[in-house]
Structure 1
Amino acid sequence: MVPPLALDIDGTLTTGSGRIDARVFELLPDWNAPVVLATGKSFPYPVALANFLGRAETVIAENGGVVHVDGETAVLGDAEAPRAVVEAFRERGGDPVWGPRDTVNRWRETEVALSLDADGTLLREVAAAAGGDVEVVDTGYAYHVKSTGVSKGQGLERVADALGIDPDEFVAIGDSENDVSTFGVAGRSYAVANADGAARDAADVVIEESYMDGTAGVLADLWTRDV
């Protein structure tokens, strides 16, 4: 049988221009095992994608801050401390770039995402001064100010437990430092060619192709092995 999957979205199921690759709708709807969408995006995004794929809403959002499986939603991150860090960042002259009406953070429950055009050095300095409960993660698409106590990997452990599946059975595919924890939990991990250094170092295999080209190749190989 094909293995259960833990899939990042941005940079993994997308094209180089950031669009969802159409092959997602060819390869994933009939995948005969659980598919977990694990992303740094806020909760509505992976839920919407799961629905468009016709799959169960099994998602890890906000880098592990929100986990949804078997109809149950767990909010695991603490938004108060990240928001305080961003406010202190503003007071120090930092500009989050995205305005108060941005949709990036409109539905975000446990963290705050800032544009990569923001001053990352200052942001990390402010986060460090706040103590050890908050960290800044650069996903290649945004700076995420989040609780240190949550991660995609911990989210995958929670999902696997709810589904009655050994985490070691999962195959994980991703492209960023926020996927490192997922790679550490899954039994087999792949980094697409566009992955950052942290993801490449943590993965069992670095794929030669980028974005969905790489992911599609892995999925096709896993499907071929099954048949």
Structure 2
Amino acid sequence: MTADPPLVLDVDGTLTRPDKWGLDPRVFDPLREWDAPVVIATGKAFPYPVALCHFVGIPQLVVAENGGVVYTGDDVLFTADREAARAVAREYEAAGHSLGWGSEDTVNRWRETEVAVAIDRPDGPLREIAAEHGLEVVDTGYAYHVKDPAPNKGDGVRTIAERVGFDLEEAVAVGDSENDVSTFEVVGRSYAVANADDAAKDAADEVLEGIHADGTLTLLERLRDSR
């Protein structure tokens, strides 16, 4: 019997409920029982995927903030500086726009390398200001992420594979958004859930029939059955 392949999993849109809000608890047991490395690669702020790994009970292998932060289980690597993104946020707000998260802004409070803006905020002026600072805006379907264009999820996954010691050609990635394209490019097999955007679907080796966690769970069962 062959071993499970290493997994690289996005969070929002991939491990979530079909209504888009909240993790689907059905993913917990399959991830805990997986007998190969599981990398959580997300646009969320660094503490969130670390907490996810902690509560699921799997090693903390994390690519956060679209590649801005990489945690290999031993070292935390920062691949971008948040100051430019903060400057973009200040100018955006000075132009009369809100980031969209309320006064406490827990979405950005612990973010180390980028700034996230709510998806219902105007992105035109955000993109213009970001470009003036040499940054890009990535639309994940859940937020606009203002980030350094250099780091990405794929680079972070490659770093973890090198540190942990698994073969990326054997790895499987699942995602739903344009920020997962770089991940799809570094693994052996890539899958987009049915709710994925066009960029993710075009880059994936296969588009799954199920949406959100339904698609991911069906794939995990298929991979297990094929061992």
Partner of 2:11: 9
Look up the match of 1:41.
44
For residues 72 and 205 of structure 1, what CA distance do their matches in structure 2 show? 33
The alignment partner of 1:28 has SS state of helix
Displacement of 1:130 in angstroms is 2.2
Match of 1:144, SS state, is strand
Runs of 4+ aligned residues of structure 1 deviating over 6 Å after TM superposition are: none
Return the offset for 1:3. Answer: 0.3
Pairs within 5 Å for 1:84-163 = 84-131=87-134, 134-163=135-164
Q: Percent identity?
A: 55
Q: Which residue of 2 aligns with 1:189?
A: 190
C-alpha displacement of 1:20: 1.1
Instruction: Give distance in 1, aligned partners of 2:18 and 2:226.
Output: 28
1:95 positional shift: 2.2
| Structure 2 CA distance for aligned equivalents of residues 143 and 217 of structure 1 | 29
Give 1:98 deviation, angstroms: 1.9
Deviation, 1:83, is: 0.9
SS at match of 1:212: helix
Q: Unpaired runs of 5+ in structure 1?
A: none
Instruction: Tell me, yes or no, if the aligned pair for 1:76 and 1:150 is still in contact at 8 Å.
Output: yes
Task: Report the 3-state secondary structure (helix = DSSP H, G, I; strand = E; otherwise coil) of the residue aligned with 2:55.
Answer: helix
Q: How much has 1:43 moved relative to structure 2?
A: 1.1
Cα displacement string for residues 72-131 of structure 1 (whole angstroms, at most 9, x for unaligned residues): 111112101111111122233322222341110111000000111111111111112223
State the one-letter code of the partner of 2:106: T
> SS where residue 71 of structure 2 aligns?
strand
Structure 2 counterpart of 1:55: 58
Structure 1: which amino acid aligns with 2:127?
R
**Which SS does the other structure have where 1:29 is aligned?**
helix
State the TM-score, normalized to the length of structure 2: 0.95
Q: Which residue of 2 aligns with 1:207?
A: 208
Report the residue type matching 1:216 in the other structure: L
Alignment length (residue pairs):
224
Letter in 1 for 2:144: Y
Supply the distance in 2 between the matched residues of 1:97 and 1:2 (Cα, whole angstroms). Answer: 41
* More divergent stretch after superposition (77-86 vs 103-112): 77-86
Deviation at 1:26, TM superposition (A): 2.1
**What letter matches 2:124 in structure 1?**
T
Retained in 2: the 8 A contact 1:95–1:119? no
TM-score w.r.t. the length of structure 1 is 0.95
Aligned position for 2:76:
73
State which of 27, 30, 36 in structure 2 corresponds to 1:27.
30
**How far off is 1:59 after superposition?**
0.7
